[in-house]
Chains A and B, each alone.
Chain A
Amino acid sequence: NAGVMQNPRHLVRRRGQEARLRCSPMKGHSHVYWYRQLPEEGLKFMVYLQKENIIDESGMPKERFSAEFPKEGPSILRIQQVVRGDSAAYFCASSGPTGELFFGEGSRLTVL
């Protein structure tokens, strides 16, 4: 029973490039959450999605960031025109009927 799968685990981008982070939830889970974590800090909520729907994006920056969870395939967190301040670990979690969150191992973005 595979857990939450995130890729890539590490991503290096230059300023101005695009970053795409992918998340496959646990089997049977239809809810996906994205969090951002800066070094030595907690996890900051970004967005909550269900299949083909964004439920809560109150933690998403207004510009350059977008997320989707299509009917088929993984959830994608997309960051356009990356800046150094986007460097962080991005964690995806999925939940099932109980509401308990299961996290992936994260994608670590470094912007040069």
Chain B
Amino acid sequence: GESVGLHLPTLSVQEGDNSIINCAYSNSASDYFIWYKQESGKGPQFIIDIRSNMDKRQGQRVTVLLNKTVKHLSLQIAATQPGDSAVYFCAENGGFKTIFGAGTRLFVKA
């Protein structure tokens, strides 16, 4: 069945360092992948997305990498800031619905 999973439940990084959050997916038919950020008590917020015809996409301080061969997705955050502390979800869409992974909690140490 469809599933999106994350390798690590928590990640702790020093302020200013780069963060890498990983995600594995299992549905080969998924053609659209999204990263969301969720702060405590709030709804998920779109960060960046990528379609299956690409392997890399860059935003402001964030980069998403897609490896379709091993069904792996990663989110890279450059120069991590305290405001980046949140839970990050990868999500996949192969049709009508978007399926979320369990999430990785990012802690940023000052």
Contacts and interface: CB of A to CB of B under 8 A. Distances in A.
Interface in B58-89: 89
B contact patch SS: strand
B42 A101 contact: no
Contacts, number: 50
Interface residues of A, number: 23
Contacts of B93: 99
Contacts of B101: 42
A105 interface: yes
B97 A56 contact: yes
Interface residues of B, number: 20
Interface string B19-52: 0000000000000101010000111111001000
A contact patch SS: strand
Contacts of B13: none
Given A42-B89, A43-B89, A99-B93, A35 B100 contact: yes
Given A42-B101, A56-B96, A56-B97, 13 more contacts: A33-B98, A35-B100, A41-B103, A42-B89, A44-B100, A58-B97, A91-B44, A99-B93, A100-B49, A103-B36, A103-B44, A104-B43, A106-B43
11 contacts: A33-B97, A41-B103, A43-B89, A43-B100, A44-B100, A48-B97, A56-B96, A91-B44, A99-B32, A101-B34, A103-B36
